[in-house]
Every structure is written in structure tokens, then in C-alpha cells.
Structure 1
């Protein structure tokens, strides 16, 4: 697939979840809940195939939020769902490393699972944790989960390394991130890559390798560009920008009511703590263009209001 089409296709893959929300909020469809479950099943299927669970977790949270808003769920019920969600996150964290190894064909330590389907492997790992809760709540597992959630560790690496070994970027990566959001790669072959490896090497001195995804995130990006005080000021206006964008989206819903259902897609990367400014800007700008094209196509070509 041409690289210039990869991102639109990636954005398009989210339509199954947004479509589920459309159906759920449609009064003419009695089986609304079933479509939400199908959307979640699609997220689970994607997670099992790719051995990446971020999409499942994020869209699961988004869909649950819309569900509770429509049902006007009580606070006590929301707290119960929150507890269940946290337990599910811990479960995913406890099995994803083993699952990725097994899903990639590494059966040296678990030969009995060779030849099993992805779903069967996933189910087996879940069953093992139900039978032995120590695999889920034991000290090694909880320590590993805390380490994985500790984005501050990566930020501290950047603080320790910059500017002692690498000078402040003084807005270089931020400026390039803004440009990269609007300029396609065929016009700028060497435009910044998302994924974080380049920033990790440059600003922390640590190379996570080509397989592991690690990033200094917007907090680290702000520091390595502007230092502690300048970074804090940048983050204030950075957040203010997205707040203004969200307010504008709410205003547009007066004309396009269903636009609120696209908010998770548009702001998808802004809530991802590991994404650097390049990834956030890139997704934010391109998702807005994608949504605009979808609305235009529906109205002008299909002659439908969505």
C-alpha cells in the first residue's frame, strides 16, 4: 500500500466504531445495544490479530462513555464500571507480553499452545490468571504494571540527558511537527517520523530499538525544546489549543449534530500519554480533514445527511 494512503486507511478502520455509535443513537434501530457490542467485538478482534490492545482499551472507554451518557447512568454504576475497567486493564497488562510472544510463533516455553488460534491462546492466558490470581495481583505483576504506566520515567531520562548532553531544541521539533501535519511525505521524504525512537535517541541517549515503542511524550517534548519554565508555558497553550478546538467542535454540533460522535477519532491521540507532539498534531490535523471529506462525500455524492 502506498505510504500516502496508509494513514487514511488507518483512520477509516475506525468507522466501524463510529458507525456503532451512529446506530446506537438512532431511534429507528431496536437492536442498538447489539451494534455497540459488535463494535467492541471488532476492537477485540483487531487486538488479537495485531497483538496490540491500545485500540481496544481506548474505544472500549469511548463507547462506554457514550453508553452511560445516553442511559444517564448513576454515579455508583459508573464507579462499578470504572473498577471493572481497571481490573481489565490489569488483566491485559499481565498477558500482553506472553500473548505477543506466542502470537508471533515463539512456543519454546509453551509448546502445548503451538498451532492454536489467537483466540484460543488469549483465552488460555486469561483462564490461567483466573485460576491463579497471583499471576494478576502478585507483586511482580503489579510492579511491572506500575513501571509500564510510569511515563515520568521516560520524562526523567530526557531531563537528565538534556541539556547536559544534548542542547535544547528551542522549538525545532515542535515547528517540524506542525509542518509535518500538513505536508505529505512524498513532498517531504525526510519529515519527522512518529513512534518516538528518534526523540528517545536524541534527547535521552537511549535506543529502544525498532520493535519497542517508547516516547518522551508532550511533557518531555516541551522540556527538551524550552526547558522547565518554557516547557510549562508551552504546555499551557498546547492544552488551551485543544480546549479551543473542542469548544469549536461543540459549536459546530448546532449545525452538524452527529459531529459529536466523531470527537473520539479527532482527539484520539491527544489522550495518549506516550504520543509525542508530532504524532498528536499529525493525527489531529489529518483526522479533521478525514471527517470533513466524509461529510462532504455523504452530502455531495451520496446526497445524504449524516
Structure 2
């Protein structure tokens, strides 16, 4: 952090946290003997050895393929790549102080309009809203923006306020994880500060999970008529004041929300004992669906966990959402060895997409600021499914292309000469960096 964008590292960390670390907690604390885990059926459903003999090498392969370093041939550090991009972007945006504000305003307006759009095109409205976070980065890097510091405070506060109104904190949590390293590029931070930031982030996520259920219960049923911000503050204060904050019972909501291993273990318990491995029948159809528009394939598979949970795990879900994740799909289709290979290929695809963004940024530096739009749903890919990961990347890239064609100034706002020569190859990035840019 401070040297490069840690997007792929965050994806790897979140995947290992939900599919490896939390299952360890489950086997040792929240197992079938623990009354809450037994009551909600959120214990691990296969033996520990069986589970980790698959998931550990599968996630190792996924992480290896995804995080294989892009080597830099300039005095040895990729930090100069992003520092160079930032300086280019800042120079290009200088004559356009309102571009970022325009993106944010359009995104916020589309957030409210999207609620009235048909479900088939609602994702377009969502992408416009996600674009407001690219707009936030535009504002951050534009030296001529009026009231810049005020805007950099108000926009995140609006996002938090919207989360409080809806009770949905997904965007706040995962977009924060995606954006955080952007604000540290070029800023030196000691290792201690990075550790403190990491610990603070983890603590806030845990705190959010412990109060989220009570907050939704009070607001979604329409019984609470007061300020939701005040209610949330009261719940947080009450939670922090609990003497049993770190007990097993108090931590259970966090465990229940973050242990993706439970769903994977359901698949491993069911397949091949009760049904044979799928052999890629539905998964390959899902992969194809990510590349074909719905108007050409009206009944193509839809992203979401309802089908996967019933088909692979034998669990019908109604009124809430969960999924088996790509790692569960990989096992359900190809068993242990095939599942490991599939996870390696998926990690390689994500790395390839990220590398493509870097390559495009050679001629269009500002594309770097759209990484949160492109990869937002990839951050929590282990909670989704393969279709969702591929679908979000492809649709987001196509959305950016259309925006570029309609309003190219968003991507090429300046014509200043680029003195940085950058080459991205299959295995390295070479940079000739002029520090006087």
C-alpha cells in the first residue's frame, strides 16, 4: 500500500479469509457441538481433512495464478508505474475541474432511477452509480476542483447515508476495500501505520456485522420511525459497551456471515454421495452466458445463488441470498483435481483482465481510475459464482467502452505529451519513468 494498487491482494485475502480462516474457526469453536451453529446449521458438514485437502490447494492455485507478479524493469518497483499514471492523470484533468463532479452527480441520479428500471437493465443503472466512485478518484486527482476537500468528505458520507437508509452495507464495505489503496499511492506510510489501518478496517467490519442484523430488524419492518443514523449510532455504542463483546456468542453473527466454507462443505457432503459430479454441464453454460447478451439468449442462466444452492448443495433459499462460490462450483463439477485446475484458470483470468487494464492505461492513463468499477464484484468473488465474476467484468468493460464512445473526454481529457514509455508484456512491465513529468 502506497506503492501500488492492492486489488488482487485484497481478492486473495478475502477468499482465504472466508474459505480457509473462518472454517478453521468453525472446526475448533463453532462446530456441530455449539448450540447456535447447530440451531442455524452453519457448522462444517464434512471432516476437516476432507475439506482442507481440496480448498487449501484450490485457493493456493487461485492465488498463485491471480497474484503472479507483474515484473517491472525500472530500478525494480511497480510503484513508479502507478505514480507515473497519477501524475499523467492529474495533468490531463487540470483543465477539466468538473469532470469528476459530473460523474458523481450522474451516478447518484442513476442510483435512484435504477430502482424503477426493469430488472433486465437495472445493472446499467448500478454501473452508473459505481461510476461515481471513479468520479471520486477524478476529484481526488484533479488539482483545480473547487471545494475539493469538502467533496471528498461529502461523497463518502452520502454513500454511508444511503447504506443506512437501505440497510445494505455491501457497497460501503467492499467498495472501501477496493478504493483504499488508491488514496495511498505516492504517500509514504510506515509499516506500523499500515498494520494499524488493517486492524482498524477488520475491527470496523466485525463491528458492522454485529450490529447489522439488529439495525435491519428495527428498520425493515417499519416499526422504527426515528433517524436511522441515530439508531445506528446507538447500536454501535451499545455493542462497544458490551462486556461480552469478544465472546463466542457475540462473535457468532460475524462467523455466520463470513464463513463461506459452510456452503462449500454442503456441496462436498452432497457430491458425489447423493448426486454425481456435474462434469461442467451447467458451469460451461454459465461461462458462455457471460459473453452473450440476454436479448440474443433470453433464457440464459442468471447470476445469483438460488440455483447453485439447490443444484449443488441441495438447499432451497427464499428471501435471502447466499451462494457456493466458484470454489464450490469447481468441486461440484470437476472433483478435487479438476476443481484445483479450474480455480487456477479463474485466477489467471482475473489477472489477465487486470493486466489488460494496465496495458490500456499506457495510452489512456485515466482507465486506472475505473478499476473499482470493473473489479468491484471480483473482490468478493468467493461469495458469488463464476457467472457473476465473468458477467460483471465483461458488462463493466462494455459499459466503459460505450461511455468512451459517447463522451470520450471522460477518458481522454487532456492532450499533454506523455513522456513515459511503458510496455506491458506477458510476464513483465517495463517503465522509463521521467520524474519531472
Given the two structures, how large is their TM-score scaled by the length of structure 1? Answer: 0.90
Alignment of 1:90-129 (within 5 A): 90-105=206-221, 107=223, 114-129=224-239
Tell whether the 8 Å contact from 2:131 to 2:373 is kept in structure 1 after alignment. Answer: no
Shift of 1:201: 0.8
Say whether residues 1:151 and 2:260 are aligned partners: yes
1:161 Cα deviation (Å)? 0.5
Deviation at 1:186, TM superposition (A): 4.0
The answer (yes or no) to whether the contact 1:168–1:227 under 8 Å persists in 2 is yes
- The aligned counterpart of 1:213 is 321
The one-character-per-residue Cα deviations of 1:262-304 (angstroms, maximum 9, x if unpaired) are 112211222212010111111111001111112222228x896
1:85 partnered with 2:194:
no
**Deviations along 1:180-203, whole A, 9 cap, x unmatched?**
223333443322222201110111
Q: Which residue in the other structure is 1:286 paired with?
A: 395
Change (3 A) 1:303 1:65: closer
Q: Is the 8 A contact 1:17 1:40 kept in 2?
A: no
Residue 275 of structure 1 aligns with which residue?
A: 384
CA distance in 2, matches of 1:303, 1:206: 45
Partner of 2:369: 261
Residues in 1 aligned to 2:399 and 2:298: alpha-carbon distance in whole angstroms? 22
Higher relative contact order, structure no. (Cα contacts within 8 Å, ≥ 6 residues apart): 2
| Greater Cα radius of gyration, structure 1 or 2 | 2
> Aligned-residue CA RMSD in angstroms?
2.1
Which deviates more from structure 2 when the two are superposed, residues 185-194 or residues 199-208? 185-194
Query: Which residue of structure 1 aligns with residue 241 of structure 2?
Result: 131
Q: Tell whether the 8 Å contact from 1:269 to 1:283 is kept in structure 2 after alignment.
A: yes
Paired residue for 1:252? 360
Task: Give the aligned partner of residue 155 of structure 2.
Answer: 39
**1:177 and 1:277 in contact (8 A); partners too:** yes
User: Secondary structure in 2 aligned to 1:72?
Assistant: coil
Q: Aligned partners of 1:303 and 1:247: how far apart in 2?
A: 18
In structure 2, the residue matched to 1:68 is 184
Distance in structure 1 (CA, Å) of the matches to 2:311 and 2:151:
45
CA distance in 2, matches of 1:38, 1:291: 25
The question of whether the paired residues in 1 share the 8 Å contact of 2:331 and 2:338 is answered with: yes
Pairwise CA distance, 1:169 = 1.8
Residue 106 of structure 1 and its aligned partner are, at CA, apart by 5.8
Alignment of 1:176-215 (within 5 A): 176-209=285-318, 211-215=319-323
**Number of aligned residue pairs:** 297
